[in-house]
Amino acid sequence: MSASCSGPERTRSVGRGVNLLRAHWMVSLLAAGLLGATSWGALTPLPLAAPSASREEIFEIPKGTWARRMAGDPVEILPDEIHLTLGVKDVLVLRNLDDVPQIFGPTLMMPGQSFRLPFQVASSYPFTCTAHASGQLMVIVEPMPETPWARLRWRIESLLRGAI
Amino acid sequence: MKWIPLLLLLPSLAAAPAQAGEGAALVAGVFDPPRPAPDFTLPASDGTRLSLARYRGKAIVLAFGFTSCPKICPTTLATLAQARKKLGARAGEVQVVYVTVDPERDDAERMRKYLAGFDSTFVGATGTPAELAAVRQSYGVTSTKTGEGSDYGFAHSSYTYLIDRDGNLRALMPYGHSSDDYAHDVGILLGP
């Protein structure tokens, strides 16, 4: 003779089952989302696919920077490291919008002048830069991520750096 | 209806100038707008006084370094010598100027002998420490003495400057580019 559940016990059992299903459903949804995001990150081509997309990474010295520095404000414009990726963002653009000449990145720039430097080889490029306390700016040019894993890693790193 | 094919052609016509412009782009970093290259007058390796104005009408490749440099300078100068050869008949329209950061050791005669090992047309410039520091400052070039005693060296900016026929500072070539890149860019500066 098989045992049968009484009314309240059966309700509790169904409730546990529903909770379990709900929890699994949430986990499944999360897993599916994660899988989808990972697949997108790994398989979707990088933005270079659009020929019109800009490959420039632009940095500007705002007007008044020199005056602020003279007033004791340690203005930081360039990060210590600039990360570029061949075929995606591989052109460094520096603009001096201030009223005085500035040594900005690798070069002395007059007011209103810009400097556009394309990179073609993946490597680390150290540049002297008086805008930094260390006196050096490092431009790290990475190869274009070709494999799904490399694309995924590139996207995660870019996301962590706030680049995308 | 006859003008429909013409309409279809419009996008490609509109794109043509942009493509031509891209094809003529410099490999080097470009200054926009260009500014007159800071001139100077310094004792030259050929025994004269050297100024950039002397080479107006030619493209100038301006480099900074020192003759005892173990790697960067010889590589750059050898690359420039190759690039000049690649320019063929137009090689005479290019002048390489090499300004020392080491006036203590690099006198005019030493520079002449050193540069002749790469290309006899290369001209070196030396001067007093103050004169040379002023030239470096005008280009944003840095140079820091390293090491002790007689075996000292310099950590210096390794890029070269490209100056057009009119004396405008047009571009900056980072270290490591090939002679093909130099020949390409100098060819653009020289024009048709």
Q: What are the extents of the domains in chain B?
A: 31-190
* A83 close to A163: Cβ distance less than 8 angstroms: yes
Give me the pLDDT at residue A62, please. Answer: 87
Give me the pLDDT at residue B14, please. Answer: 35
CA–CA distance, A148 with B73 (Å, rounded to integer) = 41
ipTM value greater than 0.90: no
CA–CA distance, B109 with B100 (Å, rounded to integer) = 13
Question: Would the CB atoms of B172 and A120 count as touching at under 8 Å?
Answer: no
Chain A residue numbers touching B138 (CB-CB < 8 A):
108
Taking the CA of residue B24 and the nearest CA in chain A, the distance in Å comes to 14
Q: Which of A22-31, A86-95, A145-154, B73-82 has the highest mean pLDDT?
A: B73-82
Q: Is the pLDDT of residue A7 over 90?
A: no
The answer to whether residue A41 is domain-embedded is: no
Domain that holds residue A99: 47-161
Eight-class DSSP state of B174: P
This prediction has a pTM of 0.73
Domain count, chain A: 1
CA–CA distance, B61 with A103 (Å, rounded to integer) = 21
Q: Is the pLDDT of residue B169 over 60?
A: yes
Q: Which of B178, B175, B164 is nearest to B33 (CA)?
A: B164
Q: Is the pLDDT of residue A49 over 70?
A: no
**Token reading at B153:** 């060296």
CA–CA distance, B80 with B129 (Å, rounded to integer) = 26
Question: Would the CB atoms of A113 and B32 count as touching at under 8 Å?
Answer: yes
The answer to whether residue A77 is domain-embedded is: yes
| pLDDT single digits (tens) A30-39 | 888 877 777 7
- Residue from the list B25, B172, B176 with its beta carbon closest to the beta carbon of A107: B172
Taking the CA of residue B30 and the nearest CA in chain A, the distance in Å comes to 5
Average pLDDT rounded to a whole number, residues A114-133: 79
Which residues 99-158 in chain B show a CB within 8 A of chain A?
138-140, 142, 157
**Residue corresponding to tokens 């603009």:** A95
Question: Would the CB atoms of B172 and A115 count as touching at under 8 Å?
Answer: yes
B66 touches chain A (CB under 8 A): no
Give the strand pairing for B94-100 and B59-65: parallel
Give me the pLDDT at residue B4, please. Answer: 47
Which residues 76-105 in chain A show a CB within 8 A of chain B?
92, 103
| pLDDT single digits (tens) B80-99 | 999 999 999 999 999 999 99
pLDDT band at A25 (very low <50, low <70, confident <90, very high): confident
Question: In the CATH scheme, what is the code of domain B31-190?
Answer: 3.40.30.10
CA–CA distance, A58 with A6 (Å, rounded to integer) = 72
Q: Is the pLDDT of residue A51 over 70?
A: no
* A113 close to A98: Cβ distance less than 8 angstroms: no
Give the domain CATH number at A77. 2.60.40
Give me the pLDDT at residue B1, please. Answer: 45
CA–CA distance, B73 with B115 (Å, rounded to integer) = 11
The answer to whether residue A58 is domain-embedded is: yes
Q: Is the pLDDT of residue A23 over 90?
A: no
Average pLDDT, chain B: 88
Q: At what angle do helices A7-43 and A148-161 cross, to 10 degrees?
A: 100
The answer to whether residue A65 is domain-embedded is: yes
- Residue from the list B29, B157, B174 with its beta carbon closest to the beta carbon of A116: B29
The answer to whether residue A26 is domain-embedded is: no
Q: Which of A83, A82, A92 is nearest to A55 (CA)?
A: A92
Question: Would the CB atoms of B140 and A113 count as touching at under 8 Å?
Answer: no
Give the strand pairing for A114-118 and A91-96: antiparallel
Q: Is the pLDDT of residue B48 over 90?
A: yes
